Amino acid sequence: MKNQVLIAVDLSEQSAAIINKGIDFAQKMGGTVLLVSIIPVFIDYLQSQMALIPTQWDDIYNAQKDHARKELEHVKLKHSNITIDILVEVGNPKFDVIEKAKEHHSNYIVVGTHGRTGLSHTVMGSTAEYIVRHSNVPVLVVPMDRSNH
């Protein structure tokens, strides 16, 4: 059975670097790639707003999922020399990345950091840090490119 590398991205500026590192890692391992993007659901905000416009949220999340799929399909086309499967869902990235790695029997997880510090790190939490602490498989963390900061 081939190694599977789950690469989790949020389609931010750093995603291309994370994807490239993850694909390079998978190729060196002789493995395949599961390219995952979890669209964050904003539970607290949604609960207060759901009664007002429930179908609008569905439209927003569906548009985000469609956009993410298109972006990841583009990546897949660029890297036709390796098997890449795509998974896009709405949920909580912290928990869902770990769950998807279990469900798909991934051997490794590749994530990136945003480099947030201080209050924004405390308030938003670090998805990468959570995944590193709770994953049952090895995690490769790609640091934020600080050359522009």
Residue 50 has pLDDT above 60, yes or no: no
CB 4 within 8 A of CB 33: yes
Q: What is the mean pLDDT of residues 88-108?
A: 97
CB within 8 A of 110, min separation 6: which ones? Answer: 5, 6, 7, 8, 18, 21, 22, 25, 139, 140, 142
Q: Domain spans of the chain?
A: 19-108
pLDDT value at residue 115:
54
Please compute the mean of the pLDDT values over residues 88-98 and round it to a whole number: 96
Over residues 100-126, mean pLDDT: 74
Kindly report the pTM of this predicted structure: 0.85
pLDDT interval class at 10 (50, 70, 90):
very high
Burial of 15 (0-12, 13-18, 19+ CB in 10 A): buried
pLDDT at residue 93 greater than cutoff 80: yes
Angle 13-64-89 (CA atoms, 0-180°, nearest 5)?
95
Q: Once rounded to an integer, what is the mean pLDDT over residues 16-35?
A: 96
Residue of higher predicted confidence among 131 and 148: 131
